[in-house]
Structure 1
């Protein structure tokens, strides 16, 4: 490949002319500078090459002589790429500014590579005077940048995948924790509630009764305990089966809950037996009024599984502190009074009296 040349033998000045010799020497020096530059330099006019330096020839595979008068578009991968460059370059060069961009260019053998192109017109008001282009091969730098970008993208992808995996693991752990909490809550609930009616069982009943007693001691109140037994419940089981009997018990539980205050507790303690705790009672009369409401409500007929059923409650009432000072003694007293009610007139209530124990009425 021949080096780029600006001057030819035919147009060299005569050595006898001193000024021409000086000019020739200056031109040779300029050509040496151009040919030893590490970047490609070319001069174009009217979109055609006039000459280039050695580095430009090495980059593109054209000597300066071969390139002369060829159209500049031969160094671009496609006509579209050349036209896009023209649209970008024209307003910049026309304003007298320097064009500076990175672009893909084509070699003589058809291969492409990335270049940084710097360009400036000799006279922005007169394109016919030509344009100087400086071209630097930046393929290695672009490849390194792209490799870094790929590595960054791969790293980001791995981070995203790891983050997603951690989020999934965290979600599973959170779900497992929630399931465990729900299971623990269910266990605690089952440990303190009747499985059939959902009412507090005897364990929770005794705890709430002790709390009511302690509060009554501090506030000088009374606590009433109502022990309820359903009369004529066994015939329902015998005649219609345990399924209907269970539905009836659930219906009784619903009615009891609807009659009581938020501070009251209604509990199923077994079979057809229920216990109601009424804290903050002012008198036995108030407890008896609640018992009367319960009698009337529970005595109304029930529609269960297509059957109209009737049961009546027998209720025994004990009071704190008159009939006991702890949960066991109050429950025993209320149970004793309930049995007195069943042995006298069913469907009624009885207040506990101390002589009930002496007469042997207890269960």
Structure 2
């Protein structure tokens, strides 16, 4: 049983208090506490929960108004009603009491009927107040839970009232753009003003497509302006969850996802191949990129190679790349490391002679990770014929020195040692050296090397000259980085000493070549460290490379998928037409973006957001397909939960009023087309309020859940049982044979609900009153049918409850009385 309500009565007259106790002696739903001392009354109010205060206006120790004000200082008693009692008929006294917070007034001597009636009215008021406070607290807790879920998600949530333009943006929605809670107004125009002007037409078109019912959702990528003025790429997904009776969209909800990093990665990977080709084409060397295989297929050659040998991409490399036995063994060791997934950073260098063309070449080779993620061999070949000839020439003939010297492609600087070989003075430079060193011959000759190049010590250049002067041994030095205020870059040196003691440095600027290598290394790091999965296939759609994120998301290791077609990931949920359209878009535009449902190695099906693009060679022929995708399982689950809550009653799980209206409208259209009948049953539980008020809302909620189960058991799967709110339910019966069928179901509902309910140890009894309207007999639109079913339900209540009544007509009356006779 529920706890009785408590009344605190305060009066300096013990007679009045005794009279109050006698007046309420037979009441079982409340108890009365009495006090003749206001201070004692205040002390008891701090110890007890009080639902009604009855206080005498005039008392010797403290007047009634002061006592009431001090009583309400306690937050627990802020809304407790107060009944003021006085022996005076003075209107000013009443006005002052009511103005100070009293809810009602009684004049002595007390009339028993009036007193008990006023007391019960005020206790009823308190019951409603407490019920309202409990509901407000439940709503606050529910709002806090959802706000916590929204704030904890990586996605921002928005809720748009299409009719008024008002919009809710979650804290995360604003934070991902750098805005605070008060920075953005709660209106649709706030979102629109943040949109990049170039994206606005497409976004508005996509939204209109969905609002007009042409698309199930609207899904679009756009740029939104952050608080710092920059733009971020955002993926917006939304759906209309409520429409008007005319089918016009009323409310839409959705999410925003920050995809800026993924967009940057897509652009980078898409551009990297073209950028690499352009960079390598302008380098004044021969560049070969070779597949790691016995055949040694040429994956790429730069413009200098094409000018020399023609279009040889796709052919074997061996007619064009020469190696010796020792070099080949070193290459084999290097390749072994590469095949283990760790490209060696070591450069292998050697010189070769082409007797057919009579040219000397300096060759450098290393294993690198190519732009498609695969490990390849890259050989860079420099024509050093002029340098070789120049060395020989300088050593043979001083007379021919100047002509060759001035026309060499490589820069040549001749130094004279000083300070016992610790410093050097420019003695001569050729024109190429002037261009490389950015200084004229007139300025350089006669000056110390440190005067024009202060970084020679830190870069190691000075040490090269000192070593050559000291050892008299010729030596090639790989590229080193030099930088000062005038000049910076990567330079290779070939240093030797003339018989005269002068030191010669042949200098080649290899900055562009080194930057190209850096670009390749950077592309490989992006590939390996991406949080999104990356899959690269060849032109036949066979997987050639995947990154670590791919294995983490799909469960497949790199070795398990190499050479396989990506269709091994397919879940089968999307049909052949879907993939045909995807490939058509990919072939026409070179890219495709959208949602895919794939299957992990474990068999689990999951959603992913994927971006596919095409990589082509300089002839426009497809060489690779690149796919970047991320797992969006958590985001999809959140969207489905939002969708479910928009259409279902949270207490019973039944369709709510909005979903019932939608289904009824669709069913009426279908019934009209197929010339069928349907029935609408309004069900209201009898005496539910009494159960709810006496046993509490918790018991009432459990009863509603059990009633929902019994209602579902009485209808077919094709029918709909919905909760409209409170203890009201609406049931729609499809494709019925006539009124008798509806009456039969109504009888089953009455029998099912009339059986006792055992809830938390309480045996509860309730019955339904049911009103029935029929289509097309009682109306052809949902408003008319619902109105008539509602009126019939009230007629069932008026005729004694626990029965059903049709919406007018003799046939309805006949069935109604027949059912009463059957149940009697």
Q: Find the structure with the greater CA-based Rg.
A: 1
1:344 correspondence with 2:531: no
**Corresponding position of 1:220:** 675
Deviation at 1:143, TM superposition (A): 4.0
Select the residue among 332, 354, 360 that pairs with 1:145.
Answer: 332
Instruction: Determine the C-alpha separation between the residues in 1 that align with 2:653 and 2:719.
Output: 15
Q: Secondary structure at the match of 1:247?
A: helix
What's 1:203 paired with?
658
2:785 maps to which of 308, 330, 335: 330
Aligned mates of 2:667, 2:607 — CA distance in 1: 41
1:121-140 equivalence runs, <5 A: none
Map 1:100-249 → 2, pairs under 5 A: 142-153=329-340, 154-155=342-343, 162=528, 163-167=546-550, 174=608, 176-249=631-704
Deviation at 1:343, TM superposition (A): 1.1
Separation of aligned partners in 1, 2:801 and 2:726? 18
What pairs with 1:223-302 in structure 2 (closer than 5 Å)?
Answer: 223-302=678-757
Residue 128 (structure 1) aligns with: none
When structure 1 is superposed on structure 2, of 211-220 and 272-281 the one drifting more is 211-220
Q: CA deviation at 1:144?
A: 4.2
Task: Return the alpha-carbon distance in structure 2 between the equivalents of residues 274 and 287 of structure 1.
Answer: 16
Deviations 1:97-122 (CA, angstroms, capped at 9, x unpaired) = xxxxxxxxxxxxxxxxxxxxxxxxxx
Question: 2: distance between equivalents of 1:197 and 1:347?
Answer: 22
Query: Given that residues 553 and 631 in structure 2 are in contact (C-alpha distance below 8 angstroms), is that contact kept between their aligned partners in structure 1?
Result: no
- Where does structure 2 lack aligned partners over 5 or more consecutive residues? 1-324, 344-366, 375-526, 529-545, 555-605, 609-629, 811-824
Partner of 2:495: none
In terms of fraction of residues, the more helix-rich structure is 1
The two structures, once aligned, show a CA RMSD in angstroms of 2.7
Deviation for aligned residue 1:349: 0.5
Change (3 A) 1:179 1:141: closer
CA distance in 1, matches of 2:791, 2:690: 24
- Separation in 1 of the partners of 2:664 and 2:795? 23
Rounded Cα–Cα distance in structure 1 between residues aligned with 2:547 and 2:725: 53
SS state of the match for residue 651, structure 2?
coil
Q: State the distance in 1 between where 2:646 and 2:328 align.
A: 73
Distance 1:164 1:246, change over 3 A: same
Q: Mapping of 1:35-114 within 5 angstroms?
A: none
Q: Distance in 2 between matches of 1:297 and 1:233?
A: 16
Q: 1:144 to 1:226 in 2, by over 3 A?
A: closer
CA distance in 1, matches of 2:774, 2:637: 38
Between the two proteins, the alignment pairs up a number of residues equal to: 219
Q: CA deviation at 1:180?
A: 2.0
What stretches of structure 1 move > 4 A for 4+ residues in a row? 138-141, 156-161, 168-173
Query: What is the DSSP-based 3-state SS (H/G/I as helix, E as strand, rest coil) of the residue aligned with 1:294?
Result: helix
Residue of structure 1 equivalent to 2:434: none
Structure-2-length-normalised TM-score: 0.25
Match status 1:321 vs 2:508: no
- The secondary structure found in structure 1 opposite 2:740 is helix
CA distance, structure 2, for counterparts of residue 183 and residue 231 of structure 1: 38
| 1:62-117 Cα distance to aligned partner (Å, 9 max, x none) | xxxxxxxxxxxxxxxxxxxxxxxxxxxxxxxxxxxxxxxxxxxxxxxxxxxxxxxx
Q: Describe the superposition over 1:223-262 as per-residue Cα deviations: whole angstroms up to 9, x where unpaired.
A: 1100000001111111211111111100011111111111
Counterpart secondary structure, 2:649: coil
- Secondary structure, counterpart of 1:338 in structure 2: helix
**CA offset at residue 293 of structure 1?**
0.6
In structure 2, relative to structure 1, the CA distance for the partners of 1:148 and 1:283 (3 Å cut) is closer
